A and B are shown apart, each in its own frame.
Chain A
């Protein structure tokens, strides 16, 4: 049994929320740069320039990329042979509180659907936990903005809708969202499971490496086809029209009931902020 102190988790969360909010991932930066070189429209290309310059300024000034520094989402994989000293949930929330204060990040959590009082420290984090069979803790930490989250969708399709039904739903969702989720976007597509599982699959798909693809050949093809078809919509950066609407499509799937085809589409803006840490 390996002992891990809860304070170690607090430290990781505190430093990671600051780091991901200040520094755009290098591979994402390169992908945006490549997109810019292909862009014909002048407005679209200036917007992509702004996004690239923004990342450089944030990096140099050690400042947040975006004013919406997001809600903290943590996917935990806890080894069965780990014992945590202290309360895990409290440790994560303490890390969020400390990081958002220390990093001058915006506190965007309100406590109630209607009273809507700001909790003042960006807690609570949204935490998903899985048990695995080792003696480590893996944390996938994301700061998710509201603009793109608001354009996300869960829909229960029927098996007969098939792959064409799924594609149509994705294309409609991205088209209707237009410039609101700050394109160029990344699409996380969760297929199968049930109602809530599909949403989790979609969120976790957004945390994959930008250049990987689903190991299943049909789903890999779906990722590639959807990327092309979304970009053919012409929504463009910030919705102004252009070649670049989407930078990557990530599909994650799970077994499901014979009667269902749950589909969740989680939209991620260009300010994609997440990191994986193993303790």
Chain B
């Protein structure tokens, strides 16, 4: 018996609507509810990470004024801030949140193919978050090893949180990885097998390409973090010596011998670099769709954009050691990794050009999502350029572990993805809730955040040139650091606190608009993609009512000459939308 595609079997498959409150909103298997659960949880931990960064900035800007921040706490804050932002906020939000919401809607499916596993994925994620946060309340507090968790210091006394903190951190990561894998298998299988009739891969919106390839990267790269977490837990708990060298600690010789901290670094960064793209690729995808929709213009070079995503995905596995230049390596390896790092800049640059060219002569609507999307082009280009500096071994050596690096990675993987997160939340808010957010408040939020982040991170590059080291509690009386650096640090802190408080505008906006927002209607942006063509807004369980949509065109038919509207939804057939002129391919 030959296999029949899901979309063609739709009428044979029984759909059960959940009936009780619990199955509808708590133990829900509906991808939209799971997406919101993921999103809200991620934003919640993100808020904690933001508060932690505010505390760090207080200490850095005004050393010795806050007795409640000791060096021990400072290290714990750094570690939790970094890990939460990268894994528990951004990864979870882009894939668990946007991935869950958008995949079935954009491909025209009723749900994920394994809804039960999808639900388990969220609850495991929640467990991992709870384990992580519980480390604030155990003896010794959370680990202070830095988000990279390098051994041997990560598990030796002297580093904060070696009683329980580090074990909880590693356990939490392991659970997160299991949760992610369950979600990830779903995203991949759903995109491959549940697409509506006519929705070929090359007709998918770029959002889905970004999420799809990022998921593949995650599935293959997270095991490296899992392996290192397991082996480090054993070193800590069972006394093995995978990573632990023979070492004296607190005047005593420990029983460990012969282990290799460098081995950990290889494993960690084998995960760590692809992780950058696990966060960046969904952001690339989403931002492409925001730009195209709000510029009323087809995305420039769609095929090239897809290829660039694939190329970046493939290359991201062979650049990891650029994080280990200072750990020492064979110069030929250094040369190899510097080269691959620079090569990855090529597809990345192509994407940036294509975004800019999409805007060229577009009918740009500068509403909130668009502002955030354009802001992203700035911050990403900026962070990308400093990355090219750091990719070179000779430039990296003096700048490594200074504030230049802090500025670089915040621009490229902190600020840029966060801008896309905001832009995308504003963009899809009307679909998710059926209400319109407050546009003025949104714009104010954008400008204060955008300018504010520049006020924070631009000066940090300069601090890096001065040689101000990263991960230091206080500078003290260091000769090479001039007085001006302290003033600069104060100004950075004030900007950071300001930007932090500004985020309340966002929370206020999305919470109050739930009640007070104007009804948005099904397609307020006049967008082409399928999620805007659902029969109900917000979409009901099963998404499409009685009949699945049928797709006839790509996602970017904006301003097609000869058509009476400036957009043609993907489910409009060529007969319904006769176009007089052939409009031009860009690739």
- A and B found bound together: no
B contacts, CB < 8 Å to A: none
